Structure 1
Amino acid sequence: MNASECAGRLIWFKATAGNDRFHTYVFQQRVGVLIDWFRVLRSDERGERFRAWGGINDPACCTPGEPNCPAKSLEETYGLDWCPGDEELLKYVGKAGYTDPACDFHDAPLAEVEVHGPTDQRQSACDLKFGTSTGMLGIRKFPNPRFDRDKWVKLNGSAGTWEGYNRKIPAAGGSDEPAKSRLLDGAVEPPYLIGTACGSCHISFDPLNPPADPAHPKWENIKGLLGNQYSRISEIMVSGMASNTLEWQMFAHARPGTSDTSAIPNDQVNNPGTMNALINIPQRPVFMGEKVLKWRKANSCEGKAAATCWCEPAREGKCWEKSLADETVHHILKGGEDSIGALEAIQRVYFNIGSCSEQCWVNHLTDLRVADPQQRGFGQTPFNIGQCRRDCPNFRAIEDRLGNILDFFMSAEARNTDLREARETGLRKADPSATYATQDLIADLEKEFGEGAVARGQQVFATTCARCHSSQPEAAAGQFDALDFYKMDEKSGLRADWLGNDAPTLVSEVGTFRCRALHSNHMTGKIWEEYGSETLRAQAADPNLAEPADGGRSYYRNISLINLWAHAPFLHNNALGPELCGKPANKANAFYAMRPRYVDGNTLSLLPPDQQPACWEYDPSVEGRFKLYKASMDELLNPAKRIPKVTLLNEDVTLRVGPRLWDGTEKEKLVGFSLTIPAVIDGRGVNAGTVGNFQHKTFVVDLVQAKFKPKEVEARLVKQWGPDAGKRVFTDLKAITEEVTSQPNGLVEALKKRPYLVKQIYSSCFAEIENAGHRFGEDLSEADKKALTAFLATL
């Protein structure tokens, strides 16, 4: 790598940009979601980390007490792995004065065209905040200067465990309330502050050279940009919560390899999506002439308004000006929402993982427990990039080096990982002179899929799939006979076709689970408004949907199919193909067992255990990936074979409303009432997505106004839903106000009798079947389906 690519890689792998405060304090105390970092990172379960959490072990770290490990006991490391740099870091646990390793970061030379040059005026590299590894790649640790070792030992019985810290608090033990622990107790300080780098989701095993043992990878087995399709990052986020909490039921629905990036900036849309595989980025399509309102680099603000131009103090000509202009941009995220430029899209990743939360964006979030529209926190408000740049040095530290990260994206680390090369690499482990040419791959595929399958599959792909999954201009023009999917780009040395066009397609045309396409955070007035282009927001809503779909929503971008063999299961939510699981020895971390997915297609009730297809155990080997690819392709091309999948609540969820009276014993009295969301209603499971998509704030406002402003509400509902449906909703709202006055759980009971209100009226998304849609190719002959599978394996 050149200096810029190398700098970008180090930032991607290590920089937390200060989010250790978020993951230690803000997430628990402001958002109310608990991470049990010891449960995830405990060194005595290092060998299980991949199976339990999909985490990739840092090859440079070790379990204290193992041969050649510098730390001889878990007491020295407070129960976590020992990692390089800990010889210094451990000196400062409970003490001030730690110097972050990022302060020694060597910046790459400034780009020749740097507007803010030629003098190097970058924010101090210290504000990148590296810390040291926790033992799981992408998760970093920092010494907590407020840690009290004596109190810690008294609480836990030993410095080498956190068992007392995550133990259930006695006061909750005798009640029906979900269990809490000391993780929620701000008076107890842990030894480390834990932060996350972008690599926590995107670092993966190299499909070309997977580890012999996933629990013991080497550096040559690891890539930084392909996305970890085994990661259970959502379960990590609620690892300290009881499973009968609303938050656990909402977060933990995501499949391995997916994450709901709007779970914290919550828009009440159940929308986990796969970690983007960043492959062959120099060939990725761009879109010209899009209207983008954003801050751009400038050398002066002389004569310009302070609201739209700002110069960094004590810097010479380091200014930024906000303006509307035409730009050539990528479409990023599943619906293309990040559309103001690649650099800004990279920057926003850091907000998704907690950077600058207190200075910039946490107060723009909606508070799910605020139902009064007059109160702060009722709805989202737009995050302000200019304000964040001014007030958060971590923002500036990342922003000043975004070009390095983008250069890393363009580097050889993000090149395609072809099946041919993967098989050749495997052969060379036994015989360094072994070769496996393209013709060898074709010959092997045609033994399995039929003579002439690859050539026939290319024809099928051109006529059936290339309209969406080719970046060649001929595909957009309908000239499918002229397509060459193997042509190389002379400048980049990569395959010329990105095998996707990133163009927005109406979700009703694709037919897949549409909740992700209704993600609303980039709309005007929402938190990430400044990261969406005006062109994006001007897109017409899908006319075939009943849900609100305006403001740029209701589209999916046509993704790349490069190296599809290595990235199954399919679709944006990994729902198409076998379900994956790690099967760890610690059954408390066997998450698939808690979340069976397959349902009866008529009743949407879970199939009995003996009819649930078994999950497929994680297997990142070359042949393991290829086997999963074939099974997923079979489901893709044969929709009739798919057993419907729905994520259901796996236990009742109880919400307690009102103050508590506690006498210091396990008996706790609630002054108020409790609401229970049942896991089963009338013999049918309750969709976790339905609960997550329920627009309860709008419902409560309409419920109140139906009593005090009935004519206004009725008129609005009739206009939105038509005379019959609108009047039915209004009548039911009036009836519910009468039913809930005398029953503590009356609201839940009232909605149980009228489930359509939750599923169809006050919902951001009505979809339930998660593996439906994308039926293109189902009418092909069986031979052509095999041919298409064979051909795609060569790309």
Structure 2
Amino acid sequence: LSDLLKTLDSRKRPSRFKDMGLVNEPGFKQASKQDQYGLWLDERVGPEPEGIDPKVYGKASGILGLRLYPNPAFDAAAKQHWDAEKYYNDPNYFNDPNLIRPYRVGMACAFCHIQMNPLRPPDDPENPQLENLSSNIGNQYFKVNQIFGAELKPDSFVYQLLDATPRGTIDTSLISTDSINNPNAMNPLFNVGARLAEAVPEKVAGGALYLPPRDETRNVPHILMDGADSIGLYGALDRVYINIGEYHQEWLQHHNLLIGIRKQSPIEITKSQKDSVYWQATEPRMDNLAKYFLKTATPMHLADAPGGSDHQTKDQTVLNRGKIVFAENCMACHSSKQPPNISFNDRFSSDDYMRWAREEVVKPDFLTDNYLSIDQRLPVTMIKTNAARALATNATRGHIWDNFSSENYKNSPSVGEIEVYNPFDGSTNKFKMPSGGPGYYRVPTLVSIWATAPFFHNNALGKYTGDPSVKGRMEAFDDAITKLLWPDKRDDKNSIWVTQQKSYLRIPAVYLPEAFQSTLGYRSRIILAYPWLLPLILAILGIALFIFGLRRKHKLLLGGLGVVIVVLAVGLMMLSYFLAGEKGDLVLGPIPKGTPVNLLGSINSQADFSDLLNVVLKTRSALHRIENENLDDAAAAELMKKEVAPALLKISNCPDFIEDRGHYFGTQLSDDDKKALIEFLKTF
């Protein structure tokens, strides 16, 4: 699925930003020749920077955020087997799980967070200079299927799922899967000091007590989209490094990579502190990283961008009206400056709050050190945006990130029911949100909102321009803000992510043993190592029972049972060799064009066995008919709609398919007030 060494292919450098959304590192050029191992890697122009130990930090790769390390496992035997030509061109060769590559590729935070600076955009996004880059804006152009699925073909369902993922988003629970397809935007980081001032007291327990400030009750900001990362800034930063491979030896023991099915368990902070030298090396650096963001994460004002003022009104009357509209309709959630004596719930009905807000918003320093968010978790029943990210479970009790969420989060009550649209019959149904953490979104900041479109946690509101210039950003902002305030202009049902062609779910034969073992545990190794053993034992038992039965009174019953056991042994033999990867790839399909990707991407593998079995049988029957009867796209879609979709919807972790719905606050305003509000937002 993913090979970051191939992502580094220097022949892709001229269009990396356009195709993948990655940032070409200044000081490099496209390779003029292959390296000593036959790989196409960017070539440095000029000397290496001083003071960077390559044994610790690796060498720059030519893509910001990816670092190259020599692979210590690349010994003489690996060198003898290595063939760069096959590595680039032969799927049987590069898909071999035992293939040892010359380099390891390390990932830094910059990979997902550095992008073009809105205030100093480059003339050519494929060739930026350091002054054209920002470490706070977040990678709004990231294209996940080109980065992590470049070897996939369009007839692969995984390709279709990743291709549907909007630019600038990634499902951070894709690897340690929660069985929900929930890509979310790369967070911009602004006004961190003001954000920390908004942190609220929450209770922590377990491993979180061993991270600063080591208090049972502490003020915590809410880092992730759903507010789950809630034990403090240090814990949030530490968790990211585990998620990108810092202590993978332990991390991978607590979840079933990509596949899920097997129940997760928490990775423990105390064990990481004790046993991982990488954690031990990283944790002391978190203080400096936090200080860095405190210093650098400042707002980027449109007025300071080249030509930015051309996109702003000169009419002070309009701007003043926009401030009042903001105070009356947005400020209760989108300002870190709030009166101390009025509760959140009272802000929506209190005359005192409205008077205070109207006076506060016109003050000259209103935007100074204002995070433009209350940084609280609010129920998705209130926000009404797509619920996928709010349903994430990795930080719930007993799951992989248990140690990184507060007790307040884990003990959160259910927010109730949401309404979801059924794309197969057009009905609207109720879905009960679970308790124990899921069901909430934290309030996003509006700082520099002009530069961060498309909107929503999934970047689903507004068009993607792919243009980091001021003109390109304003085109994206204008489209997104128009759709936000005039919801009739949204894509609505057309925002549902669907497959663009007939596709198949394939697991190459070489990966089947690993997938089988990771799902059923190490006890399954005997089947993989000796696929003939259990069938042979069963066959001997069946034959013995058949012979024994011939000598007994009930010979038909016993003999028949012996025959059945022998037949089962033959079937088990075929299955065992298949799971051992000796009978070809696992292929499921065809999956019809137009199938919602989340119908298959959010299956609850922990559902009742009877419901899961029903899905398997109905899906197998439908796919068999589609293939054997050579049904066209329309007929195949109709069959899926009638036979398979109801069963799949019943076991869906998130049957919420419309991506650009929700956040209808302000949509009732007059057109003039909406336009005035937009002008004020451009000053943030």
- What interval of TM-score do these two structures reach, taking the shorter chain for normalisation? 0.7 to 0.9
Alpha-carbon distance, 1:623 to partner: 2.1
- Residues 230, 406 of structure 2: 8 Å contact kept: yes
Corresponding residue of 1:608: none
Relative to the length of structure 2, the TM-score reads 0.77
Alignment of structure 1 residues 347-746 onto 2, 5 Å: 347-358=238-249, 360-366=250-256, 378-411=262-295, 413-423=296-306, 441=309, 445-446=312-313, 452-474=317-339, 476=344, 478=347, 479-483=353-357, 484-485=360-361, 495-545=368-418, 546-578=431-463, 580=464, 616=465, 618-643=466-491, 644-650=494-500, 651-655=502-506, 658=575, 670=583, 674-680=587-593, 685-700=594-609, 702-703=611-612, 733=614, 745=624
CA distance in 2, matches of 1:482, 1:388: 48
Cα pair distance change 1:636/1:261, threshold 3 Å:
same
Q: What amino acid does structure 1 have at the position aligned with 2:230?
A: S
- Deviation string 1:63-110 (CA, Å, 9 cap, x unpaired) is 244xxxxxx76568831112379979xxxxxxxxxxx97548xxxxxx
CA distance in 2, matches of 1:227, 1:645: 23
- Residues 335, 556 of structure 1: 8 Å contact kept: yes
Could you say what secondary structure the match of 2:218 adopts?
Answer: strand
Q: What amino acid does structure 1 have at the position aligned with 2:15?
A: E
Cα pair distance change 1:701/1:495, threshold 3 Å:
farther
Q: Does 1:253 align with 2:164?
A: yes
Corresponding residue of 1:773: 662
Alpha-carbon distance, 1:56 to partner: 0.7
Could you say what secondary structure the match of 1:675 adopts?
Answer: strand
CA distance in 2, matches of 1:80, 1:402: 31
CA distance in 1, matches of 2:164, 2:271: 34
Q: Structure 1: state its 5+ residue gaps.
A: 1-32, 66-71, 89-99, 105-125, 157-161, 170-180, 299-319, 372-377, 427-435, 581-615, 663-667, 705-732
CA distance in 2, matches of 1:35, 1:268: 22
- Residues 140, 196 of structure 1: 8 Å contact kept: yes
- Deviation string 1:374-399 (CA, Å, 9 cap, x unpaired) is xxxx2111111111111110011111
- Deviation string 1:378-423 (CA, Å, 9 cap, x unpaired) is 2111111111111110011111111011001101x21111011113
Q: Does 1:131 align with 2:58?
A: yes
CA distance in 2, matches of 1:544, 1:742: 33
- Residues 466, 480 of structure 1: 8 Å contact kept: no
Percent of aligned pairs with the same amino acid: 31
Could you say what secondary structure the match of 1:498 adopts?
Answer: coil
Alpha-carbon distance, 1:263 to partner: 0.5
Corresponding residue of 1:310: none
- Deviation string 1:153-196 (CA, Å, 9 cap, x unpaired) is 9865xxxxx44213244xxxxxxxxxxx4232244332221111
Could you say what secondary structure the match of 2:100 adopts?
Answer: coil
Corresponding residue of 1:7: none
CA distance in 2, matches of 1:236, 1:453: 44
Could you say what secondary structure the match of 2:653 adopts?
Answer: coil
Cα pair distance change 1:246/1:530, threshold 3 Å:
farther
Corresponding residue of 1:167: 89
Could you say what secondary structure the match of 2:236 adopts?
Answer: helix
Cα pair distance change 1:783/1:240, threshold 3 Å:
same
Corresponding residue of 1:79: 40
Q: Does 1:46 align with 2:13?
A: yes
Q: What amino acid does structure 2 have at the position aligned with 1:550?
A: S
- Deviation string 1:281-314 (CA, Å, 9 cap, x unpaired) is 000153333111144788xxxxxxxxxxxxxxxx
Higher alpha-carbon deviation: 283-292 or 762-771: 283-292
Cα pair distance change 1:780/1:703, threshold 3 Å:
closer
Higher alpha-carbon deviation: 744-753 or 496-505: 744-753
Alignment of structure 1 residues 267-282 onto 2, 5 Å: 267-282=178-193
Alpha-carbon distance, 1:147 to partner: 3.9
Q: Does 1:37 align with 2:5?
A: yes
- Residues 54, 230 of structure 1: 8 Å contact kept: yes
Cα pair distance change 1:698/1:199, threshold 3 Å:
same
Cα pair distance change 1:294/1:416, threshold 3 Å:
farther
Q: Does 1:222 align with 2:133?
A: yes
Cα pair distance change 1:229/1:502, threshold 3 Å:
same
Corresponding residue of 1:602: none
Alpha-carbon distance, 1:697 to partner: 4.2
Greater percentage in helix: 2
Cα pair distance change 1:500/1:184, threshold 3 Å:
same
Cα pair distance change 1:764/1:297, threshold 3 Å:
closer
Alpha-carbon distance, 1:754 to partner: 4.0
Alpha-carbon distance, 1:458 to partner: 0.9
CA distance in 1, matches of 2:59, 2:252: 26
Cα pair distance change 1:539/1:152, threshold 3 Å:
same
Corresponding residue of 1:59: 26
Cα pair distance change 1:217/1:508, threshold 3 Å:
same
- Deviation string 1:308-340 (CA, Å, 9 cap, x unpaired) is xxxxxxxxxxxx899871111111100110000
- Residues 208, 231 of structure 2: 8 Å contact kept: no
**Number of equivalences:** 580
Corresponding residue of 1:29: none
Could you say what secondary structure the match of 2:147 adopts?
Answer: helix
Cα pair distance change 1:199/1:488, threshold 3 Å:
farther
Cα pair distance change 1:486/1:529, threshold 3 Å:
farther
CA distance in 2, matches of 1:694, 1:135: 38
Cα pair distance change 1:623/1:444, threshold 3 Å:
closer
Cα pair distance change 1:86/1:166, threshold 3 Å:
farther
Relative to the length of structure 1, the TM-score reads 0.67
Cα pair distance change 1:61/1:554, threshold 3 Å:
same
Alpha-carbon distance, 1:44 to partner: 2.5
Could you say what secondary structure the match of 2:235 adopts?
Answer: helix
- Residues 517, 554 of structure 1: 8 Å contact kept: yes
Corresponding residue of 2:194: 283
Corresponding residue of 1:607: none
- Residues 110, 135 of structure 2: 8 Å contact kept: yes
Higher alpha-carbon deviation: 652-661 or 779-788: 652-661
CA distance in 2, matches of 1:451, 1:778: 23
CA distance in 2, matches of 1:671, 1:235: 26
CA distance in 1, matches of 2:616, 2:42: 56
CA distance in 2, matches of 1:498, 1:522: 25
Could you say what secondary structure the match of 1:786 adopts?
Answer: helix
CA distance in 1, matches of 2:285, 2:385: 37
Alignment of structure 1 residues 325-344 onto 2, 5 Å: 325-344=216-235
Corresponding residue of 2:71: 144
Q: What amino acid does structure 1 have at the position aligned with 2:397?
A: T
Q: What amino acid does structure 2 have at the position aligned with 1:784?
A: D
Alpha-carbon distance, 1:536 to partner: 1.1
